[in-house]
Amino acid sequence: ATGYGLVYLTQELLKDHGTSLEGKTVSVSGAGNVATYAIQKAQQLGAKVVTCSDSTGWIYDPDGIDVALLKEVKEV
């Protein structure tokens, strides 16, 4: 819920400025549960999330992060 809330807040702030997440390229700091759900919701709202990171490293995919793959990698 926290990750979704973060994205909904961002979406509302963007709306106040006459824009939205649709078509935006996004970077997320973190790769835990909050970040994973934020990535998922941002993608559902039309953003392309290209990077996320945590204390052990980072992921970058110029085509957009595959959330299912991210969850798999985190389990290993």
Which CATH code, of 3.40.50.720, 3.30.300.210, 3.40.640.10, 3.40.50.300, is assigned to 2-75?
3.40.50.720
Averaged pLDDT of the chain: 93
pLDDT at residue 6 tops 90? yes
Decide: pTM greater than 0.85: yes
3-state secondary structure the chain: CHHHHHHHHHHHHHHHCCCCCCCCEEEEEECCHHHHHHHHHHHHCCCEEEEEEECCEEEECCCCCCHHHHHHHHHC
Six token digits for residue 26: 């996004």
pLDDT digits (tens, 9 = 90+) for 20-41: 999 999 999 988 899 999 999 9
pLDDT at res. 41: 97
